[in-house]
Structure 1
Amino acid sequence: MSRARNLVAWRLALCLGLGAGSLGLVPVTAQAQTAGTAADTRHGFSVAAGSLSQALNAFAASAGIELTVDAVLLQGKQSPGLAGSYSIDEGFAALLQGHGLLAVRQANGSYTLVVSGDGEADVALPQTMIQSSVAATGNLPPAYAGGQVASGSRVGLLGNKDFMETPFNTVAYTEEYVQNRQAQDIGAVIGATDPSVYVPSKRSNYETFFIRGFSTTANDITFNGLIGMAPNMRGSTELAERVEVLKGPSALLNGMPPDGSVAGSINIVPKRAGDEPLARLTTTYESRGLGGVHADVGQRFGEQKQFGVRFNGVYRDGDTAVDDQQHKMELSSLAMDWRGERARLSADLYKQRERMDGVNYFGISSIANTVNRVPTPKKGNHSLAPEWGYTVNDTETLVLRGEFDLSEAITAYGAWGQRDGGYDALMTRDMLLNDAGDIDATAIRSARDGTQKSGEIGLKGHFATGPVNHAWSLAASRFSSKNSFKDAAFFGHARTNYYNLDFGPAPDLSGFGATTSKTEAKLGSYALVDTLSFAEDRVQWTVGARQQNVQSSNYGRTGAKTASYDESRLSPATALLVKVTDNVSVYANYIEGLSQGASAPDTAANAGDIMKPFQTKQYEVGSKLDLGYLATTLSLFQIEKPSAYTDPVTNLFGVYGEQRNRGVEWNFFGEVQPGLRLLGGASYTKAELTKARIADNEGNQVTGVPKVLAKLGTEYDLDSITGLTLTGNLSYTGERYVTDDHRLSLPSYTTFDLGTRYTTRIATKPVTLRATLQNVANKAYWLGSWSGGDGSGLSGGLGAPRTLLMSASVDF
């Protein structure tokens, strides 16, 4: 978030405190003017027909300018849209023709709308613009009313799209939201208010998420659109301008992810230097002594400010709110970008090192068949990890991206990245043995080191065939990964009890150090997609397909190849969106996901046989309503994912199993009145085992997936105290099953968070103070399963305890 945004936020709070909010601004929030973009420079624009407010919003976002307007001036006005090459002044003139309005450029480069014939009139409007950085591949969609989420996001192969013109369920969280949530990992961002997302662990070794009832992992998060380039094991938020979520499978849009997740896709949009210089220092504190500091510095250079540099540095170290648990994070990231008239380039470099002591990724990972009672959950400050347990994650990454406008209708683009790093860990994997709480603990020493390379090239453009407009994209992608592993398991290392844990001394690791296995994988794909627009773009039909190839090889301790895999599959998709009115869209889609097919085990009659990549199929219908200040979406979906196992009768390994998730989601976000922001929703997901190895389990809800989730995040700016904001968050999680046979389950639980934020100036410097108390009631509960596997219903561990988060930011 830039210094300009903080100033804007301060002015807005002041205006609201004085009652200026009654002017009723339309949410024409756009980015600040791209540095050095002269008003008479021509650019290609494609603005859809619709309300004048929507057309101006789209034009301002595309031009990269700042625009303020009184909503009264736009009420009831329509626009035929804009297509072709225009300067900013020419574009405004065309859009405003016949409406009796003029766009007046201010001294700072921003624009204000006034009534024609009174161009010098002083329209006293509170400044509600939100400045975002400019990505190397074009302007980011502006923030929606309230500033917590964006009005659009990257939709893989389709590029950046407004949420009302996206035929999928998407959400993009802004940097402002991340900072105000004091979120330090991806789960804290996407899991707080989205009813489609359930985060089954807190500060685990390896971040996992349930989206629409299917599990996805940190390995499948994309960074600036490239798979495999996000931080290893756990994502960092301090380098993110946006965190984008697309719900459901996305093989056409993004290709097959390395771990084959089909739940949804998460993309980290890296920060870029804004037009205004930024120098911000933030200090943080978490209960029991986890302190940190974050420096965020950015500036643009050149006569037209075409070159930008942004640096983020983070250091955190100390005790967490959990007993005998420590966390240390070191992050440095450098983002550089250059933007010319026809070309945009960017380079992102970051290095992350994270160490966590006293953290147990697996919780209680499995449950014996003799267990008939779930242990009473302890308060979240209790640890399930041995004192000698630890994990270290390292990541060094370089990502390059660029695009060049071959003409006004065609753009070529490409990206390449390399990530080096891995993990080094000592932990336990525990089995609950009986109702008395006895536990058998296996100690595990594991280390991984590897290199991943990711790239894509493509063309995108638009053309018309008669009354039909086409927006198309052709792309090829390539991902490769090489990893070496050092693994050792110490079975029966300790026998302990849940109610009095004692894992004894660390295992003898004197013989550890030799490489035990290696893996190599290559993912290659080609994709073509076209969005056909009819009836003045009110009907949009997207069709496309991706041909995906998967190659992988495994090598044993001696270096001999133990397994290999080379399979391909075609993944088609189609989606239809209809803009019923300027404020209402309805959509439907069919899209697939891909996961690497499994290999038959040695015990099967067809040992060594390899299954084709698993195709996951999603059918979805939905509607979207945009009131300008508040937006809401309603989606119904069905996702079918196959699975493989060995048939107990024939002893043949094959694709016999299936999980089918059916659900409904309701989301809302925006500013319902000046100073009152809401973000949340509710969902119902029936995650059913439709085909299972054990017939008696068919029809049962999948382990660890709650049927009902409901969340509400609120922010309220106090009129009586300028700059003071009260915050709250409520989260309800329904019953989860511990085993597929449903003999054990976890009750529903509700947690509350309360907080406050104060924005002011000290010695002319903008200052923001934040404080949040999470899990106010210190609720004790089990989270559930981190993987969704049978008998893993306690592997997510205990819920987080009551935790105090505080931070202070100052702009210099």
Structure 2
Amino acid sequence: MSERCRQHRATPDSPQAAQRFTLSHMFTAVQMALVLGLTAAPTAASAAPQAGTSSASLELSETVVEGVLDPATGLPPAYAGGQVASGSRVGLLGNKDFMETPFNTISYTDEYIQNRQAQDIGSVIGATDPSVYVPTKRSNFETFFIRGFYSNADDITFNGLVGMAPNMRGSTELAERIEVLKGPSALLNGMPPSGSVGGSINLVPKRAGDEPLARLTTTYESRGLGGVHADLGQRFGDQKQFGVRFNGVYRDGDTPVDNQQHKMALSSLGLDWRGERARISLDFYKQRERIDGLNYFGINTIAPNVTHLPSPKKGDYALAPKWAYTINNTTTTMVRGEYDLTDSLTAYAAWGQRDGGYNAMINSSTLVNNVGGISSSAIRSIRSGTQQSGEVGLKGKFQTGPVDHAWTIAATRFTSDNSFKDARAAIPGTTNYDNLDFGNAPTFPGYGATTSQTRANLGSYAIADTLSFAEGRVQWTVGARRQRVQNTTDAFGPRASKTSYDESRVSPATALLVKVTDEVSLYANYIEGLSQGASAPDSAENAGAVMQPYQTKQYELGTKVDLGSFAHTVSLFQIEKPSAFTDPLTNVFGVYGEQQNRGVEWSFFGELQPRLRLMGGATYTQAEMTKVVTGGVKDKQVTGVPKVIAKLGTEYDLLDVPGLTLTGNINHTGKQYATNDHRVSLDSYTTYDVGARYAFKVETKPMTLRATVQNVTNKAYWLGSWNGGDGSGLSGGLGAPRTVLLSGTVDF
């Protein structure tokens, strides 16, 4: 980043010439930028970061522009308003300023997480980001849709390592930042275990700052869910080279949903040491969560004769049996270190192990008629397993004439071993949506034997180089990752079987960023995602045949405008994801299908004017099956993907009452289809949140009181990730009810 750019980013009153930059000019400039990226004659190179400028985080010598990282935290500093950071980790490329990132990214700060009173990942990334749709409020398994594609908690990374985030659901209190990259990321992060392609999420662990921290927060949620959170940090040594950060959380009580209770305990410890050339850290956390009366899915499938859903009830209406529950455990240890071999060459390595699983009894329901008839079965499931994840690499900088290079080579390895004990029992009779009665908890005679075991091994090698021309104003990134996917599944019992999978794929990527001015950046990228290919079913002519990993392709154009204290991003994207099915004419299973998501995103954040902070945006996504099975539904909006999402979060500091801030959120989600033939749909809905917080001091101790009412009108609506391949629908539930959140924080 140039000195002028650093000054501009720090000065809210800098010139606003970029406001006159129209959308048509942006598209023209993008085309010019693609040419400039190949033909521009570069000039002087920027200086490499100096050794010995480390701070509390491991990523201090990531390939970032000098001056971007905060010396107190080792992270990109907060942007104006403090809600988001000015940059984030971009996988293999390291920490980058958002104006120098050729992808659409956002990084939420701990300050925003606290003020949002968010207790899970979805409550953070789904609040104001129009690219993210969160279809469940409180289930045992957090799921997200990013750019219209499904993702889940298993694909979240922790401090850059896949598979080390909390199992199934993550608590926010262990994270300093929550980073979101939109679009596929096979080059940047490798193939995620569950094959998410719409985006990636990274949790940045907390580190001790230079100033001691002793913070206590108490929380309360409607109907009696109370909690307490202790956050302690301290650095030691004559140069504060040793750091300790501890977070402890306990929540217990009734949730806003009828007959539902939630209990969660978390303890996390972050240790780090920073020297002149070396940095090392150790993270440990243990999380246990239990939800009783679990609203897992309200309606899993829809019978073919159903033409509409019942009218939605208020969100406190329980769609689950009283006996339904889930218990979720995670214990993780992770170490990361790096060493500056020279001023321009750094070696790094990381390793982690996660142990845990779940113990659950839930129900699966089918809507069988138009008067709300529901048939159900009960599922008993226990999963236990161990995941190990690691990476090693080198990163550095050099010059070839007038061209600067910031390069990285890396190797990653992820292994997972899980065992399952699954059983299903019928729930006699049919109940009704208006008067649900699932009877007593079913029994599972003979339950306890292992029914299946899965072993996965994901290994990869990657290389990337960012070439900088014209004093860093033109940056061209190229790279590729070779990924090997191995998987073995053993099924036991009456239908014993064994399936194996061993395939490889090379995923290339390229991205161009042009800094037209200090205030305007244009970017374009081509990047791929990778998902494990399916195996042909026993009924297919080629039974047992293994498909190569699915190669998802993204093409994106975008512009970023930074007005000093307020920033915009506009992106156009197209993502093509293959799918497999059995051809009904030939009975051969193959990769014949394709889903294509095209969209435009507009997002913004920062201080629009003194004391007024805004964050939000709007998206329009056209998600269609462009290739389908013979007789299938083609060129229609895919189930579960709303075409329009718009969100706005506001904060305003009252001048007449110092310390008092008023807050509000608006969330509009457009119509969705629940079946592939579009006979059943979910209406659009809009919810409103209002709140306030008051910061003051008691003697010398800072205190903050917060109050928020979510869904203040108590809007009743259906939501869910409806995506049944056979047109039956999947995963529907009721939206969250009116919910009161209260919290108080004191720093000792």
- Give the TM-score taking structure 2 as reference length: 0.92
1:459 aligned onto 2:394: yes
In structure 2, which of residues 569, 587, 596 is the aligned counterpart of residue 660 of structure 1?
A: 596
**Counterpart check, 1:597 vs 2:495:** no
Q: 1:88 to 1:599 in 2, by over 3 A?
A: closer
1:51 paired residue number: 5
Q: How far apart, CA to CA, are the structure 2 residues paired with 1:541 and 1:88?
A: 28
Paired residues for 1:198-209 under 5 Å = 198-209=133-144
Q: Aligned in 2, Cα 1:271/1:539: closer, same or farther, shift over 3 Å?
A: same
Corresponding residue number in structure 1 for 2:647:
711
Question: Are 1:133 and 1:274, in contact at CA under 8 Å, matched by a contact in 2?
Answer: no
Q: Which residue of 2 aligns with 1:282?
A: 217
Deviation at 1:363, TM superposition (A): 2.2
Alignment of 1:505-584 (within 5 A): 505-557=440-492, 562-584=498-520
Distance 1:603 1:755 in 2: 56
Distance 1:561 1:793 in 2: 29
CA displacement 1:393-439 (0-9 Å, x = unmatched):
00000011011000011000010000000000000111111111111
Change (3 A) 1:178 1:584: same
The 2-side partners of 1:609 and 1:319 are apart by 49
1:340 to 1:656, Cα distance in 2 relative to 1, 3 A: same
Q: Distance in 2 between matches of 1:484 and 1:276?
A: 45
What is the distance in 2 between the residues matched to 1:87 and 1:173?
A: 28
SS at match of 2:719: coil
- Structure 1 residue aligned with 2:34: none
Partner of 2:56: none
CA distance in 1, matches of 2:692, 2:16: 35
Partner SS state of residue 718, structure 2: coil
Q: Counterpart amino acid of 1:158?
A: L
Indicate the residue corresponding to 1:366 in structure 2. 301
Partner of 1:31: none
Taking a change above 3 Å as real, the CA distance of residues 306 and 802 of structure 1, as seen in their structure-2 partners, is: same
Is 1:777 paired with 2:741? Answer: no
Separation in 1 of the partners of 2:723 and 2:331? 27
Residue 343 of structure 2 aligns to which amino acid in structure 1? Answer: E
Alignment TM-score, normalising by the size of structure 1: 0.85
CA gap of 1:415–1:49, structure 2 versus 1, over 3 A, is same
Q: Are the aligned partners of 1:521 and 1:551 in contact in 2 as well (CA < 8 Å)?
A: yes
- Matching residue within 163, 184, 187 for 1:252: 187
Paired letter, 2:739? T
What is the distance in 1 between the residues matched to 2:238 and 2:380?
A: 55
1:639 aligns with 2:575: yes
Please state how far the C-alpha of 1:509 moved relative to its aligned partner: 2.7
Q: 2:47 aligns with which of 69, 83, 101?
A: 83
Structure 1 residues 788, 410: closer, same or farther in 2, change over 3 A?
Answer: farther
Aligned equivalent of 1:415: 350
Supply the AA of the counterpart residue of 1:264. G
Is the CA contact (8 Å cut-off) linking 2:208 and 2:244 kept in structure 1? yes
Matching residue of 1:118:
none
Question: For residues 699 and 85 of structure 1, what CA distance do their matches in structure 2 show?
Answer: 51
Separation (CA, whole Å) in 2 of partners of 1:486 and 1:341: 51
How far apart, CA to CA, are the structure 2 residues paired with 1:70 and 1:620?
30
2:631 maps to 1:695: yes
Please show how residues 250-649 of structure 1 align to structure 2 within 5 Å. Answer: 250-557=185-492, 562-649=498-585
2:744 aligned partner, one-letter code = A
Cα distance change of structure 1 residues 490 and 592 upon mapping to structure 2, 3 Å threshold:
same
Shift of residue 510, structure 1, vs aligned partner:
3.9
Residue 120 of structure 2 is aligned with which of 185, 192, 199? 185
CA RMSD of aligned residues (A): 2.3
**Distance in structure 2 (CA, Å) of the matches to 1:493 and 1:340:** 66
Match of 1:798 in 2: 734
- Give, in angstroms, the shift of residue 556 of structure 1: 1.9
Whole-angstrom distance in 1 between the partners of 2:706 and 2:555: 42
Q: 1:98-113 maps to which residues of 2 (within 5 A)?
A: none
Match of 1:810 in 2: 746
Contact 1:50/1:81, CA 8 A, preserved across alignment = no
Alpha-carbon shift at residue 564 of structure 1 (Å): 0.3
1:152 touches 1:163 (CA, 8 Å); kept in 2?
yes
In the TM superposition, residue 560 of structure 1 has moved relative to its aligned partner by 6.8
What amino acid is the match of 1:489?
R
3-state SS, counterpart of residue 783 of structure 1: strand
Q: Distance in 2 between matches of 1:367 and 1:437?
A: 11
Give per-residue Cα distances to partners, 1:620-651, cap 9 Å, x unaligned. 00000000110000000000000011111111
- Structure 1 residues 537 and 646, CA, compared in 2 at 3 Å: closer, same or farther? same
* TM-aligned CA deviation for residue 763 of structure 1: 2.7
- Quick one: distance in 2 between partners of 1:668 and 1:336? 35
Given candidates 73, 76, 94, the residue that maps to 1:159 is: 94
What is the distance in 1 between the residues matched to 2:657 and 2:727? 52
Q: Give secondary structure in 2 for the equivalent of 1:384.
A: coil
Deviation at 1:359, TM superposition (A): 1.2
Secondary structure of 2:625's partner?
strand
**8 Å contact 1:702–1:788 — kept in the other structure?**
no
Query: Match of 1:339, as an amino acid?
Result: R
User: Within 2, Cα distance between the matches of 1:535 and 1:83?
Assistant: 14
Q: Which has the higher contact order (CA 8 A, sep 6+)?
A: 2
For 1:647 and 1:87, the matched residues in 2 are separated by 60
Q: 1:636 to 1:213 in 2, by over 3 A?
A: same
Maintained 8 Å contact 2:81/2:607: yes
Shift of 1:133: 8.4
Give the direction of change, closer, same or farther, for the CA distance of 1:74–1:181 in structure 2 (3 Å limit). Answer: closer
Deviation at 1:491, TM superposition (A): 3.4
Aligned to 1:178, the other structure's residue is in SS state helix
* Distance change in 2, residues 1:84/1:429 (3 Å): closer
Percent same amino acid among aligned pairs? 70
Shift of 1:569: 0.3
Contact (CA 8 Å) 1:195, 1:680: kept in 2 or not? yes
| Aligned residue type for 2:395 | K
Query: Following TM superposition, by how much is the alpha carbon of 1:794 offset from its aligned partner in structure 2, in angstroms?
Result: 6.2
The superposition leaves residues 734-760 of structure 1 with CA deviations (integer Å, 9 ceiling, x where unpaired) of 000010111111111000000000000
State the distance in 1 between where 2:345 and 2:699 align.
50
CA apart distance, 1:788: 6.3
Task: Note the residue ranges of structure 1 that are not aligned, 5 or more in a row.
Answer: 1-46, 58-68, 90-129
- Which residue does the alignment assign to 1:682? 618
Return the match for 1:759 from 672, 695, 698.
Answer: 695
Query: Aligned with 2:417: secondary structure?
Result: strand
For residues 528 and 50 of structure 2, what CA distance do their matches in structure 1 show? 39
C-alpha separation in 2, matches of 1:788 and 1:710: 25
Q: Which amino acid aligns with 1:265?
A: S
Matched, 1:214 2:149: yes
Aligned to 2:132: 197
2:47 alignment partner AA: A
Distance 1:594 1:762, change over 3 A: same
TM-superposed CA distance for 1:606, in Å, is: 0.6
SS state at 1:323 partner: coil
Alpha-carbon distance in 1 for matches of 2:227, 2:194: 32
Distance change >3 Å, CA 696–CA 523, structure 1 → 2: closer
Distance 1:88 1:267, change over 3 A: closer
Cα deviation for residue 271 of structure 1 reads: 0.4
Match for 2:137: what amino acid? K
CA–CA distance in structure 2, aligned partners of residues 417 and 175 of structure 1: 24
Mapped to 1, the partners of 2:453 and 2:165 lie a distance apart of 22
The corresponding residue for 1:733 is 669
Gaps of 5+ in 2: 19-42, 54-67
